Structure 1
Amino acid sequence: MIKTIIFDFGDVFINLDKPATLRELSQLGDFQFNNSIQDLNNQYEVGKITTEEFIRSYHNLLPQATEQQLIEAWNAILLDFPKYRLDFVKHLAATGDYKLILLSNTNELHINWIKQHISFYEEFKSCFDSFYLSHEIQYRKPNSDIFEFVLQEHQIQPTETLFVDDTKENTDAAQKLGVHIWNNNPKADDVIDLFTSKSDLF
């Protein structure tokens, strides 16, 4: 029986345009994505470097771009957060039937944008028993240590836990630890259909 539900944030609750950042950065100069840039992004995502250091690194790559242009390009991935999804998680929280945890690879610039543009962000956050962002806890998906951290922190059993994430690499990692998963497809699935899509678990 499921007692804990762990939710991803992007493309589960807030809609994303994942190619947008690379597209926007490419318009600011000669920009080629490579492994060193991926490593830079990952370092920022787990809070190993500050926002100032992160922007400075991108400015070195794109010296013609302004700081504001770089921030806007970085945040271009973020779209809208349909309010009906807030209503869904509010109702779920109100039942008290499950421990609710948010577990997201989210950096400081992205969460600051969300706080500024999503008027009900604090209301959304309050629906969860715990709200984990990668840059704050210094772990990121799909590394197994982030899942082990949550399981140990809350003393929860993998077999009584469901993890919802749109990225298969992430759900595969959780599944290896014995956690039940729903790898939702943002183009075809909606989080509000969780109990229909995974009816076998509830």
Structure 2
Amino acid sequence: MSYVLGQINAAHREINSYPVSSGEGRSLLIRRSYDAAIEDVWDACTHPSRISRWLAPVRGDFRVGGAFEVEGNASGRVLRCERPRLLKVTWDYGPVTATEVEVRLSGDSRGGTVFELRHASSAELVAELVRTEGLAGAVRNGAGWDLVLLGLDLFLHDDLDRAAWRDTPQVREFTLHSYRAWGDASRAAWGVSADDMATVVESAVRHVARSPEGGGR
């Protein structure tokens, strides 16, 4: 099995109902394991100097209640921080697009770490995104987070800067497979026919194939 397919198959993906602070919501969830100790994974996710190597530069107040900003992506506030198991933040793309991201870590039997990321939005926001973007929005969002978790894996094993791998052919291939994997998860969650979801996914795949940057968050 190729490295790319191994990374795709390493993750469990699902979309389901999940409450947010404002009430009823919907979320995407990714669960996978890393061959690294839980403290190392926690530090990679909470120290600004390390986050910048696999995600993006981040600045702000990283205490509970503090505000932060991820360069070129999102801003938010720290809701919970329970070392080394739980980190929960708001993940805001603007004044009307507040969402929540929760990361849970647990040890596995081999000394590695089970990493679970959940990105949740209000039911109203999800309905609006589906209305304006269709289910392709859910596919792209999931693929974006897949790329983030791939970057974390590369960083934990090789200490690579994200600029060294972001535009490689392997990342482009990974993105194409990720769209298809999230298409399967979206179809199961939304009750869409296989033919309709295939149309959504293949449209997204053609966009990535044309893009010099290969898609992603």
Greater helix proportion = 1
**Looking at CA atoms only, which structure, 1 or 2, has the larger radius of gyration?**
1
Greater strand proportion = 2
- State TM-score, norm by structure 2: 0.26
